Amino acid sequence: MGQIEWAMWANEQALASGLILITGGIVATAGQFAQWYFGAYSIAAGVFICLLEYPRGKRKKGSTMERCGQKYMTAVVKLFGPLTRNYYVRAILHLLLAVPAGFLLATILGTACLAIASAIYLLAAIRGEQWTPIEPQPKERPQVGGTIKQPPSNPPPRPPAEARKKPSEEEEGAVGGPQVNPIPVTDEVV
Amino acid sequence: MGSWVVNHWFSVLFLAAWLGLNIFLFVQAFLNFEKNDKYYYTRQILGTALAVARASARCLNFNSMVILIPVCRNLLSFLRGSCSFCSRTLRKPLDHNLTFHKLVAYMICALTAIHVIAHLFNFENYSRSQQAPAGSLASALSSLSHHEKEGGSWLNPIQSPDMTVMYVTFTTIAGLTGVIITLALILIVTSATEFIRRNYFEVFWYTHHLFFVYILCLVLHGIGGIVRGQTEKSMHESHPQKCAESFQKWDNNDSGCRRPQFEGNPAESWKWILAPFILYIFERILRFCRSQQKVVITKVVKHPSKVLELQLNKHGFSMEVGQYIFVNCPSISLLEWHPFTLTSAPEEDFFSIHVRVAGDWTENLIKVFEQQHSPMPRIKVDGPFGTVSEDVFQYEVAVLIGAGIGVTPFASILKSIWYKFQREDHNLKTQKIYFYWICRETGAFAWFNDLLASLEQEMEELGKVGFLNYRLFLTGWDNNIAGHAALNFDKATDILTGLKQKTFFGRPMWDNEFSTIATAHPKSVVGVFLCGPRTLAKSLRKCCHRYSSLDPRKVQFYFNKENF
């Protein structure tokens, strides 16, 4: 189990918890349950958690599949620097956010899920994992004219480019200054 | 569109039946709880949320029953084997067992959400009616337990105004098991997302075993009898239609109406899931027994590109082409079983797998075998299990496409062809095989070289050069390699592989390939087999549909994808 990045699973779990908190909160608020204001809190906390957890961090090895449209949130989350990079901070944050929702039955499921996510994040932090943003790869524009090579400096018949580059291996053809054929050349067109 | 229907009619029918059953069960349960007089008084407190919760519960039972069946690999293999006389289209859905399992899982999640939300409303309503003003029907119903001498005839589980919803949830069997079961479900789902499954398989595999907790809690969930309806006797004496209005007079002995008596509904989840659960336990025992059989490692070959070949032997093991096995190595991990396609042919006296580094377990496996001085680690094997490649010889023309390590099932097929030719097996329906291998780096070709080289020779000797058409595509080429190839254009054999067939660079143009095949075989049924990435599957599927003619007598392309 050496290569497991617990933070990745914690991220999925936290995102799910956020959605559950929002759902529970909506049910409690819309149904005007007793102590429904915890439900209102739960919606706000859920939205915040979803926004925080939406951008997936970069895996240590291999390529990471981004979530659809996550680059906007990545930019925002990146701004907070060590607060969002460090998983200890996230573990404590999630634990604190989970507590108020635990007072209402409709949202207690969200509390439990978020607490589990917090525990997994703690495990990730202990193992030294960190959140690194997925940077968009700069698209390499082919430079106009960059692929145009120098026109051949020898008249035909010419040896292939490979042989031309390694003068020690060439068996025929000319190398050196332009228009100089050290070996007399005859036309070999068939 | 036409050929899609022809290919998939059975799957569509099956899904329609499953969906239809879900809808039927939901509506039936809903109407029962919404209209039945037995629940008249219950409805007075709870409203429609009662029916919604019960209907979703019924569907949850059904789906929990169904979800276990697609993962009984041995049962499915047995079905596939015993149905060999069935047409292709009937057996194909067995390949999609995992897709169906996921579909049922999504349905369970959706129904769980509905069920939980409905019960949140139910509990809230029970709580409100407990605190309702005295003199209302709700209050009368909620205080039933106070008046009865024999306990158990209550309706409202919230027995006093001080009892909170939270308290009831965690002190009743239904509430507690409900919370545990939902938590287990959420953990199973979050660890089973595609991202986690593909990259951190162990997390998925271990967490998924929480389903035992799910099933246990599901069976216990209904034991408390918290859903209450009026007893038969009480309905006979004081029918709600005539007695509900006069609830203030229930105490009076001469009103003709007595206080209603209630009883809880018995638990019914166990009735649904008992049979599939036993089937699944049987499946696990079978897997365990098979794994205990001794496996002998006859040969270990290290190939370039970090590919390890293991040749194994097990008493009583028999396989078909393209099947796969599950491998466990106790010295690496006691509980993990990983799937590998068999690369040997059934005609050989051993069976082999080629293992590539793809994560923790595979890396450790290769390391363990690299240490030559220590004793050979013990290996356990379960299987073989069948996938589509078994069908390849049933097609007149077969198009085999493997991307990278996805060529392994086809290694088995090609080897089998070689043996069948040697023994001049006339049962081969296959007249022609087109084999495409798409690979990124040249090193990965090495272990397959010998096989292709000997096949080339074999074809020449038997004078059947046209039987096997293979094309190798190198997608990770650079200028250097292309330069080399151009330089050696005139040579008879390919510089990279040493084979007569030259290596192509870049990806194949499928439209060209398919139209060539369609023109060459205008009246045949062509099976297209892919083991590779999803994007490739999409384009191949499109080509299959495009080049299949609508007339079933003309060329037909059937697409089969293997997946883990």
Residue B92 banded pLDDT, cuts 50, 70, 90: low
Q: Which residue has the higher pLDDT, B276 or B240?
A: B276
What's chain B's average pLDDT?
A: 83
Q: Tell me the residue range of the domain where A26 lies.
A: 6-127
CA distance B304 to B117: 56
pLDDT higher than 50, residue A146? yes
CB of B482 less than 8 A from some CB of A: no
Q: Which residue has the higher pLDDT, B246 or B264?
A: B264
Global pTM value: 0.77
Contacts of B187 in chain A (CB under 8 A): 13, 116
A27, part of any domain: yes
Residue A23, min C-alpha distance to chain B (Å): 9
Query: Which of B13, B200, B161, B150 has its CA nearest to residue B89?
Result: B13
Residue B444 banded pLDDT, cuts 50, 70, 90: low
- B159-173, B175-189, B282-296, B430-444: which is most confident: B175-189
A144, part of any domain: no
Res B245: pLDDT: 78
CA distance B347 to B424: 13
Q: Which residue has the higher pLDDT, A136 or B495?
A: A136
Interchain contact, A9 vs B200, CB within 8 Å: yes
- A124-133, A139-148, B59-68: which is most confident: B59-68
A171, part of any domain: no
Tell me phi and psi for residue B491, to 5 degrees.
-65, 155
The DSSP result for B106-154, as a single string, is HHHHHHHHHHHHHHHHHHHHHHHHHTSPTTSHHHHHHTHHHH-SSSS--
The domain tally of chain A equals 1
Where exactly does CATH 3.40.50.80 map onto chain B?
388-445+452-478+495-534+541-548+555-561
A164, part of any domain: no
Residue B7 banded pLDDT, cuts 50, 70, 90: low
Where exactly does CATH 2.40.30.10 map onto chain B?
293-385
Interface pTM, i.e. ipTM: 0.75
A165, part of any domain: no
Contacts of B113 in chain A (CB under 8 A): 23
Res A172: pLDDT: 41
Count of Cβ atoms closer than 10 Å to residue B429 Cβ: 12
Nearest CA in chain A to B167: A105
Contacts of A116 in chain B (CB under 8 A): 183, 187
Direct distance between the N- and C-terminal alpha carbons of chain B, in angstroms, rounded to an integer: 27
Beta-bridge mates of residue B342: B353
Residue B308 banded pLDDT, cuts 50, 70, 90: confident
Residue A42 banded pLDDT, cuts 50, 70, 90: very high
Tell me phi and psi for residue A171, to 5 degrees.
-100, -25
Residue B414 banded pLDDT, cuts 50, 70, 90: confident
Q: What's the CATH architecture for B388-445+452-478+495-534+541-548+555-561?
A: 3-Layer(aba) Sandwich (3.40)
Nearest CA in chain A to B335: A1
Cis geometry, peptide bond prior to residue A159 (ω within 30 degrees of 0): no
Gyration radius from chain A CA atoms: 31
**Of B134-138, B387-391, B395-399, B445-449, which gets the smallest average pLDDT?**
B387-391
A151, part of any domain: no
CA distance B125 to B138: 10
A133, part of any domain: no
Closest by Cβ to A160, choosing from B199, B202, B487 = B487
What mean pLDDT do residues B109-114 have?
96
A34, part of any domain: yes
Inter-helix orientation angle B97-130/B173-191, to 10°: 150
Interchain contact, A9 vs B190, CB within 8 Å: yes
Residue B164 banded pLDDT, cuts 50, 70, 90: confident
Res A168: pLDDT: 41
Res A1: pLDDT: 47
pLDDT higher than 90, residue B496? no
Which CATH class name applies to B293-385?
mainly beta
Q: What is the pLDDT of residues B507-518, one digit of tens each?
A: 888 888 888 888
**Of A146-155, B257-266, B471-480, which gets the smallest average pLDDT?**
A146-155
CB of B486 less than 8 A from some CB of A: yes
